[in-house]
Chains A and B, each alone.
Chain A
Amino acid sequence: MSQHVVKHATLSNGLTVLVETMPAVQSAAFSLLVNAGSVYDPPHQNGTTTALADWTARGAGNLNSRQLLAELDRLGIQGNESAGTQHMVFRASCLAANLPAALRLYGDIVRKPHLPEEEFEAVLSGVEHGLLAIEDEPRQKVMVELLRRCYPHPWGQPSEGTLEDLPNITPESVRNHFERCVKPDKAILGVAGNVTLETVLPVVESVFGDWTGSNDQTVPTGTVSPVREHLDHESTQTQIGVAYPGVAYADPEYYAAWAAVNVLSGGMSSRLFTEIREKRGLCYSVYATLNTLKDRGQVLCYAGTTSERAQETLDVLRAELVRLGEGIGQDELDRCKARAKSSLIMAQESSGSRASSLARNWYHLGRVVTLNEVRSEIEALTVQKVLDYVHKHPAQDFSILTIGPAALK
């Protein structure tokens, strides 16, 4: 397996640039993380960041809204701006030759958005429509609401915002958020594709070099304890969300935690799929995934099932989570490793996925993580290591949220 070269540099204003050179592709992609995510939404104004993300693309630099989107299309740049928990995220993919132009346009979007007053109502209306769409998709809503319950405030609050807070958001509060948070310090730009640091860095310097400032706010973090809750909804299926504590990406036991969740839900031979869908026919969709913040993580499980069979589904799901502590087969771990090996190799075919991973890894660990490093961490796992992790972090303290016609026991 040939190894892509990853190089990085940190500008004097605190922006870190990471570039992975992928000689076999024609494209390039970037993922820019700015320390301005929804955890910094002002109190009772959850949705401020998502409103800002939409507003930034409505004209920037010397282009108005229409000119900006036309220019992105003309250059074949597929981009988007979104609110994450810790970060505002700006992403784009294009042909490698157009990467400098993409960085310049996004430099304006990030640093010089017009934030036109007359469009603010449209921005909020767009945010509201997005939230109403989630209300109409209980599958999506159950996971949004589960996160809110399993992480302490504001780490679990939806980055999409909430309907009840929307009326409190004003143009001033969003501008304030922009002024205080959208700063280069701690910003991370991951770039991957048929480009090199040597060619990208001068462009980044010219676009972001004279950007200054930092977001020094500390986020007061609340506390959280396991909850059981049901939300009534008229539907054919009941949506079940279950969460319990895992570990953060930076934790030394992260890879063991990753393997434990993959034994449960990595591929169609994994336990949840086998026990809940294949052997009992209870669900079409069932999964578990390890979700991590910088300092903590949660295992999030989902199942959607016809309401009459929902109780049995929840019972089997919980039993399977607990049963993991009784033992794991060598064959189960071997399959996790095989799947990881394939997906790590195939990740080298996608510039977008590499750009995002580079930036995300830097945020969590403060260093470059190569695919080879991930591979050797996974190779080094043993059944005993994974079991030790499971015994240290057993499936307990469940937060359980259901949405459907009736509550479960």
Chain B
Amino acid sequence: MQFHHTTLPNGLEVVAELNNDAYSVAFGFYVKAGARDESGDVSGVSHFLEHMAFKGTERFSAEDVNRIFDEYGADYNAMTGEESTVFYSSVLPEYLPQTFELQASILFPTLRQDDFDMEKKVILEEIGMYEDQPSSVAYDKAMQLHFSGHDLGQSILGTVASVSGLTSEQMRSYHQDHYRAGNIVLAVAGNTDWKTVLELAEKHCGHWPAGVSPRSTAAATHAAQTEFVVKDQCQQEQIIQLASAPSCTDPRRFAAELLTVIVGDDSNSRLYWELVDPGLVESAECGYYEFEGAGTYLTFLNGDPETTRENLETINRLYEAVNAEGITADELEQAKNKIATRIVLRSERPMGRLSSLGGNWLVRREYRSVEDDLATVRGVTLEDIRQLLKEFPLMQTTTVGVGPLDKLPA
């Protein structure tokens, strides 16, 4: 494994972790443009724009884009989140130049009006699809409530109304503001050489407009709120609860990751033994999510509507016990081994390394090898967990339910 880094004159950050033993090479453009960067009247534009990229440029039509990626057998896609839009491909090394050119060029799409109108229908279908998935509805609503008044509360997909109302001019202007070289990281992992990476980056990205767009990372304040979205047709009640946790630049994020594995992993965690193993619920999990300037503990519960209150109280008792007494050395050791294996297995494919490489550089301008991550995880102590819990106790601050309930039963 060999790490390389450079910054092009226009500000594009280029990072690579190269490995000649890999069968493939994965590359991705990490654009600092997500739901939190949208002003209210263009909600959903980052995600819609991600779709529009695949509609092509002057040179490549929409059909060309799909056809050429397939001709080279690329495994490619894109995703939009609260904080970034990522375009990625995994290809055989011999097809890197061709797919790189295409992938790079579609970051600056033509945004033809007829393509825009057609793709809007697809986005509205995507919104419809997620509306029928209770867990998606719960997540969206919970983020909206927990971060109300803060830009992290903005929906990734937007609403039927906001997307219907979007114009291609608004999208163009959003694109001009955010798709600037200083806002983008190019990450490459796997089997190629640094000279090739540099040549491709200079040739296909060197002319991109320079500049960055500022993002406010003001702290969020959270008032305890509860909301139930009634879906009578559901058999079970899905609950999402959010609470404050370390942000993505906080060194305590590794402790937070370990803590949530111990408390709320999908197997052999405290929530598992308390609620899932006895068959009381379909699932009960706790996870840690990091953002710029904020982080969240996310509690997920899915089970019989009648027992929802009882189960939430059980979770509350369990959290209070952890907050007061911490966790055991044995639990910490098991969780470290669990996470270490996950890191190693995920890292075996260039695609797995890419997400770590690109994500770390985009938000922290930091390179972390697999060995770095393993060493950090191994180094977390019981005292670190105690300190974490002191400042970021496990809480159930914001609660959203989706299912038959209109409130918590008495």
Decide if B72 touches A338 in the complex (CB within 8 Å). yes
Which of A26, A58, A281 lies in contact with B119, CB distance below 8 A? A281
Q: Measured between alpha carbons, how far is A26 from B134 in the docked complex, in Å?
A: 39
Decide if A236 touches B131 in the complex (CB within 8 Å). yes
Interface residues of A in 346-379 (CB under 8 A from B): 346, 348-352
- Known contacts A123-B279, A235-B132, A284-B125: A93-B345 contact under CB 8 Å: yes
Decide if A237 touches B66 in the complex (CB within 8 Å). no
Interface residue B410 (Cβ < 8 Å from any Cβ of A): no
Interface residue A285 (Cβ < 8 Å from any Cβ of B): yes
Interface residue B268 (Cβ < 8 Å from any Cβ of A): yes
Decide if B70 touches A267 in the complex (CB within 8 Å). yes
Stretch at the interface among A106-114, A128-136, A318-326, A393-401: A128-136
Give the distance to chain B from A142, nearest Cβ to Cβ, in Å.
11
Decide if A70 touches B73 in the complex (CB within 8 Å). no
Across-interface contacts of A343 in B (CB, < 8 A)? 73, 75
Interface residues of A in 134-170 (CB under 8 A from B): 135-139
- Count of B residues near A, CB < 8 Å? 67
Interface residue A25 (Cβ < 8 Å from any Cβ of B): yes
Give the distance to chain B from A263, nearest Cβ to Cβ, in Å.
11
- Known contacts A129-B279, A237-B132: A69-B348 contact under CB 8 Å: no
Interface string of A66-104 (1 = CB under 8 A from B): 100110111111100000000000000111000000000
Interface residue A121 (Cβ < 8 Å from any Cβ of B): yes
Give the distance to chain B from A91, nearest Cβ to Cβ, in Å.
13
Interface string of A256-283 (1 = CB under 8 A from B): 0000000000111110011001111111
Across-interface contacts of A341 in B (CB, < 8 A)? 73, 92
Interface residue B363 (Cβ < 8 Å from any Cβ of A): no
Decide if A284 touches B129 in the complex (CB within 8 Å). yes
Across-interface contacts of B119 in A (CB, < 8 A)? 281
Interface string of A229-253 (1 = CB under 8 A from B): 0000111110000000000000000
Q: Measured between alpha carbons, how far is A108 from B132 in the docked complex, in Å?
A: 41
Interface residue A125 (Cβ < 8 Å from any Cβ of B): yes
Decide if A339 touches B70 in the complex (CB within 8 Å). yes
Add 20 more A-B contacts to A73-B338, A304-B125 (CB < 8 A): A24-B22, A70-B268, A72-B268, A73-B335, A76-B338, A78-B345, A136-B238, A236-B129, A237-B132, A269-B63, A270-B70, A280-B121, A281-B119, A281-B121, A281-B125, A284-B125, A335-B70, A342-B74, A346-B349, A352-B345
Decide if B281 touches A129 in the complex (CB within 8 Å). yes
Interface residue A27 (Cβ < 8 Å from any Cβ of B): yes
- Which chain A residue lies CB-closest to B348? A25
Closest 10 CB pairs between A and B? A125-B279, A281-B121, A76-B341, A342-B73, A122-B279, A129-B282, A69-B268, A338-B73, A284-B126, A267-B70
Decide if B235 touches A132 in the complex (CB within 8 Å). yes
Give the distance to chain B from A220, nearest Cβ to Cβ, in Å.
32
Across-interface contacts of B278 in A (CB, < 8 A)? 122, 125
Interface residue B356 (Cβ < 8 Å from any Cβ of A): no
Across-interface contacts of A279 in B (CB, < 8 A)? 118
Q: Measured between alpha carbons, how far is A267 from B76 in the docked complex, in Å?
A: 9
Interface residue B318 (Cβ < 8 Å from any Cβ of A): no
Q: Measured between alpha carbons, how far is A234 from B340 in the docked complex, in Å?
A: 44
Decide if B341 touches A237 in the complex (CB within 8 Å). no
Across-interface contacts of B281 in A (CB, < 8 A)? 129
- Which chain B residue lies CB-closest to A345? B23
Interface residue B71 (Cβ < 8 Å from any Cβ of A): yes
Interface residue A334 (Cβ < 8 Å from any Cβ of B): yes
Q: Measured between alpha carbons, how far is A121 from B276 in the docked complex, in Å?
A: 12
Q: Measured between alpha carbons, how far is A346 from B128 in the docked complex, in Å?
A: 34
Decide if B341 touches A95 in the complex (CB within 8 Å). yes
Decide if A139 touches B132 in the complex (CB within 8 Å). yes
Decide if B22 touches A349 in the complex (CB within 8 Å). yes
Which of A26, A65, A75, A138 lies in contact with B348, CB distance below 8 A? A26
- Which chain B residue lies CB-closest to A351? B348
Interface string of B342-357 (1 = CB under 8 A from A): 1011001110000000
Interface string of A272-315 (1 = CB under 8 A from B): 01100111111111000000000000000000111000000000
Interface residue B334 (Cβ < 8 Å from any Cβ of A): yes
Give the distance to chain B from A17, nearest Cβ to Cβ, in Å.
22
Q: Measured between alpha carbons, how far is A126 from B71 in the docked complex, in Å?
A: 45
Interface residue B277 (Cβ < 8 Å from any Cβ of A): yes
Decide if B91 touches A24 in the complex (CB within 8 Å). no
Which of B73, B128, B282, B303 lies in contact with A339, CB distance below 8 A? B73
Interface residue B122 (Cβ < 8 Å from any Cβ of A): yes
Which of B122, B238, B403 lies in contact with A283, CB distance below 8 A? B122
Q: Measured between alpha carbons, how far is A372 from B273 in the docked complex, in Å?
A: 46
A-B contact pairs, 27 of them (CB 8 A): A25-B348, A65-B277, A72-B268, A76-B337, A125-B280, A129-B282, A133-B235, A133-B236, A136-B403, A139-B129, A267-B66, A268-B70, A277-B122, A278-B66, A281-B119, A304-B125, A304-B129, A338-B72, A339-B70, A340-B73, A346-B23, A346-B90, A346-B349, A349-B22, A349-B23, A349-B348, A352-B345
Chain A contact residues (Cβ within 8 angstroms of B): what range?
A: 35 or more
Decide if B71 touches A338 in the complex (CB within 8 Å). yes
Interface string of B53-77 (1 = CB under 8 A from A): 0100000001100110111111100
Decide if A78 touches B342 in the complex (CB within 8 Å). yes
Q: Measured between alpha carbons, how far is A125 from B22 in the docked complex, in Å?
A: 45
- Which chain B residue lies CB-closest to A129? B282
Which of A26, A93, A121, A340 lies in contact with B279, CB distance below 8 A? A121
Across-interface contacts of A73 in B (CB, < 8 A)? 268, 334-335, 337-338
Interface residue A124 (Cβ < 8 Å from any Cβ of B): yes
Q: Measured between alpha carbons, how far is A253 from B235 in the docked complex, in Å?
A: 43
- Known contacts A269-B66, A340-B73: A306-B348 contact under CB 8 Å: no
- Which chain B residue lies CB-closest to A403? B132
Give the distance to chain B from A138, nearest Cβ to Cβ, in Å.
6
Across-interface contacts of A342 in B (CB, < 8 A)? 24, 72-75, 91-92
Interface residue B398 (Cβ < 8 Å from any Cβ of A): no
Across-interface contacts of B134 in A (CB, < 8 A)? 136
- Which chain A residue lies CB-closest to B76? A268
Give the distance to chain B from A112, nearest Cβ to Cβ, in Å.
20
Across-interface contacts of A273 in B (CB, < 8 A)? 66
Q: Measured between alpha carbons, how far is A338 from B66 in the docked complex, in Å?
A: 13
Decide if A75 touches B71 in the complex (CB within 8 Å). no
Decide if B302 touches A133 in the complex (CB within 8 Å). yes
Q: Measured between alpha carbons, how far is A343 from B76 in the docked complex, in Å?
A: 12
Give the distance to chain A from B273, nearest Cβ to Cβ, in Å.
7
- Known contacts A69-B268, A122-B278: A338-B23 contact under CB 8 Å: no
Give the distance to chain B from A306, nearest Cβ to Cβ, in Å.
5
Give the distance to chain A from B369, nearest Cβ to Cβ, in Å.
14
Scoring A25, A338, A340, A343 by chain B CB atoms within 10 A of each residue's CB, the highest score goes to A338
Q: Measured between alpha carbons, how far is A160 from B280 in the docked complex, in Å?
A: 18
Across-interface contacts of A135 in B (CB, < 8 A)? 235
Which of B121, B279, B338 lies in contact with A282, CB distance below 8 A? B121
Which of A121, A237, A335, A346 lies in contact with B67, CB distance below 8 A? A335
